[in-house]
Amino acid sequence: MKLVLFGPPGAGKGTQARRIQEEYGVVQLSTGDMLRAAVKSGSAIGQEADRVMKAGQLMPDSMMIEMIAERILQPDCAKGFILDGFPRTVKQAEALDEMLERLGKSLDCVIEMQVDDVELIERISGRFSCAGCGAGYHDHFKPTRDIDICDECGSGEFTRRLDDTAESVRARLKVFRDQTAPVLPYYEAKKILYRIDGMADIDEVTRRIKNILLATANLS
């Protein structure tokens, strides 16, 4: 299985990628998570990513393409992967096709999760995640079962993203419309683009994604 979960900030890409990863044993490749790990490490790339992410802008294509090109060669990607947050420009989409072609592979599908701006802002402003295992939550839509205890690992520590400020979210939504949405016609022309209404609840969105995977991906 090789798929792209595509959508604006807060659409639910990370939430759904984690579920698919668990169910099918394919690995989630989140460029946002990779960059946040680089920020934490304090590396030169991390320092640049910290500035760019807080401003809600995009990191350079060449850097992101290199990051994914290295990552998909790792043994844990052999069974497949879910791209979450990549590609984000037409240049990244073209580079992805080239690197997959060199490996004799191709994408099964690109799933666009459509969610309106009011809902996106509500989802982003209530988001938090477990500092231990990274499980994602929401103040209203997906609270922890027990107050302040992670459902998945039992940790009591949680974090909120530094780029989830109102100003940064406005910039991220504009960048999505201007630079990322143009990727959609690219995949539409290749006839691998599927659109789902991402406004439904988390379980229903998972069901819709799984239906597309059943029709397009080799799930053995």
Cis status of the peptide bond prior to 75, with omega within 30 of 0: no
The span from the CA of 163 to the CA of 84, in Å, is 17
Whether 127 is a known active-site residue: answer: yes
Q: Which helix (H) or strand (E) holds 194?
A: strand 193-197
Q: Any catalytic annotation for residue 172?
A: yes
Identify the active-site residue in 13, 18, 19, 36.
Answer: 13
Q: Is residue 208 close enough to count as binding ligand AP5 by CB under 6 A?
A: no
Residue 205 binds to ligand AP5 (criterion: CB under 6 A): yes
88 is catalytic: yes
Using rule CB under 6 A, residue 183 touches ligand AP5: no
Q: Which does 35 bind (CB under 5 to 8 A by kind): ligand AP5, Mg ion, none?
A: ligand AP5
Residues 6+ apart with CB under 8 A from 127: 10, 136, 137, 138, 160, 161, 164
Rounded CA-CA distance 216/194 in Å is 10
Nearer to ligand AP5, 63 or 192 (CB): 63
| Number of chain positions touching ligand AP5 (CB under 6 A) | 35
Phi (first) and psi of residue 51, to 5 degrees: -65, -50
**Residues classed as catalytic:** 13, 88, 127, 161, 172
Residues that bind ligand AP5 (CB under 6 A): 7, 9-15, 31-32, 35, 52-53, 56-59, 64, 85-86, 88, 92, 123-124, 126-127, 136-138, 141-142, 172, 201-202, 205
